[in-house]
């Protein structure tokens, strides 16, 4: 899969194109990408997607932007698994925000050689969100470009969306999040050095770098972790601000891996969240915190015995 920065094409290869933020790459996104693949195959076109980095709401209202479900790397990995041929990563900045809807459409047709465009039924674009499906379809007809919209995907009567996934994650409902995503919710990142407090109290943890400051969920979780080597390890994860030992309010993802003693600093880990054990709590001292961690580990191991996955 080619990854290209900005709206430019390295060749004149015509493409079937879709556009969006694709946060989470949930079932609705997957259905859209599947339809794109089918349309591209019928027309003998390459498949391509445009994504924006950062998310437009992070640009306009950084302190009110929603929690990210996927960082850019995770999103690109999902695209690759879906079989996309190329992805255009567009930096969302002041220049792009000021681009008119008609200029944006012209770039799709002239620079990217889009011959087929598929967008969500609620997609808006261009300066002041002035562009919509009707405008893209009208301009597409003038350029002999087929433009189609994708209807919403429903799960138990609920429209599957990034907002819906965030809501159920914030409630700790990992089972419903899995249904909306078509997989376990996960976070991936590199292991970095922390304060090594876990090692001191008998529960050494892997501190995983968070790309964004607002996670979609918090608490103590049963997890399964994939290491770069492909090894799968069961464990317990704490995702939150660690109220017992920290006061800076910065979220941290710490994972205690069962029966695991390898040094993995710098390694890239993929953490699947399987079940929520409890919310974060502030304990009166490290002794009480350590006792609770022991209970969390015991409960997580029991969960694996009962559930197996």
Domain boundary at 158, 193, 210, which?
158
Same domain, yes or no, for 148 and 196? no
Same domain, yes or no, for 15 and 72? yes
Same domain, yes or no, for 113 and 244? no
Domain boundary at 123, 158, 193, which?
158
In a domain, 19, yes or no: yes
Same domain, yes or no, for 302 and 218? yes
Q: In sequence order, which residues have a C-beta less than 8 Å from that of residue 107 and are 6 or more positions away?
A: 7
Q: In sequence order, which residues have a C-beta less than 8 Å from that of residue 297 and are 6 or more positions away?
A: 203, 236, 256, 258
Same domain, yes or no, for 64 and 133? yes
Same domain, yes or no, for 28 and 127? yes
pLDDT (average), residues 190-214: 81
Residue 270 has pLDDT above 90, yes or no: yes
Closest CA to 234 of 273, 199, 266: 273
Q: In sequence order, which residues have a C-beta less than 8 Å from that of residue 31 and are 6 or more positions away?
A: 150, 153
CATH code (residue 40) = 3.40.50.620
Name the pTM for this structure. Answer: 0.92
In a domain, 133, yes or no: yes
pLDDT tens across 171-188, in order?
999 999 999 999 999 999
pLDDT tens across 68-87, in order?
999 999 999 999 999 999 99
Rounded Cα distance, 191 and 253, in Å: 10
Same domain, yes or no, for 210 and 268? yes
Same domain, yes or no, for 79 and 199? no
Domain count, the chain: 2
Residue 308 has pLDDT above 90, yes or no: no
Same domain, yes or no, for 136 and 192? no
Q: Is the peptide bond before 255 cis (omega within 30 degrees of 0)?
A: no
Percent over 70 (pLDDT), the chain = 98
pLDDT of res. 156:
86
Rounded Cα distance, 259 and 282, in Å: 27
In a domain, 230, yes or no: yes
- Long-range CB contact pairs, 292-296, < 8 A, 24+: 293/201, 293/203, 293/236, 293/256, 296/220, 296/236
Domain boundary at 142, 158, 174, which?
158
70: domain range?
A: 2-158
Same domain, yes or no, for 149 and 275? no
- Give the three-state DSSP class for 121: coil
Closest CA to 19 of 211, 189, 149, 161: 149
Same domain, yes or no, for 254 and 208? yes
Same domain, yes or no, for 154 and 204? no
């Amino acid at each position: 899969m080619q990854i290209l920065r900005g709206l430019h094409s390295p060749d004149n290869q015509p493409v079937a194109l879709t556009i969006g933020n694709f946060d989470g790459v949930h079932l609705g996104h997957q259905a859209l990408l599947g339809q794109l693949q089918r349309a591209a195959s019928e027309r003998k076109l390459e498949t391509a997607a445009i994504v924006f980095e950062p998310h437009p709401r992070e640009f306009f209202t950084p302190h009110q932007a929603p929690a990210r479900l996927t960082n850019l790397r995770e999103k690109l990995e999902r695209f690759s698994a879906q079989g996309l041929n190329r992805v255009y990563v567009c930096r969302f900045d002041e220049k792009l925000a000021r681009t008119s809807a008609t200029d944006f459409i012209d770039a799709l047709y002239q620079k990217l050689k889009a011959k087929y465009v598929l967008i969500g039924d609620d997609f808006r674009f261009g300066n002041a969100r002035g562009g919509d499906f009707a405008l893209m379809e009208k301009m597409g007809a003038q350029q002999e470009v087929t433009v189609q919209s994708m209807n919403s995907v429903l799960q138990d009567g609920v429209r599957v969306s990034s907002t819906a996934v965030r809501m159920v994650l914030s409630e700790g409902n990992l089972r419903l999040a899995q249904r909306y995503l078509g997989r376990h919710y996960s976070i991936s990142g590199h292991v970095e050095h922390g304060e090594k407090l876990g090692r001191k109290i008998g529960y050494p943890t892997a501190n995983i770098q968070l790309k964004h400051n607002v996670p979609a969920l918090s608490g103590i979780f049963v997890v399964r972790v994939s290491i770069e080597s492909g090894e799968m390890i069961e464990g317990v994860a704490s995702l939150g601000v660690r109220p017992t030992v920290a006061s800076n309010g910065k979220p941290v993802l710490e994972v205690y891996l069962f029966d695991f003693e390898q040094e993995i600093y710098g390694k890239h880990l993929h953490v699947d969240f399987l079940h929520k054990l409890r919310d974060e709590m502030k304990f009166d001292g490290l002794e009480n915190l350590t006792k609770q961690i022991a209970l969390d580990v015991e409960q997580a191991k029991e969960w694996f015995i009962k559930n197996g996955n």
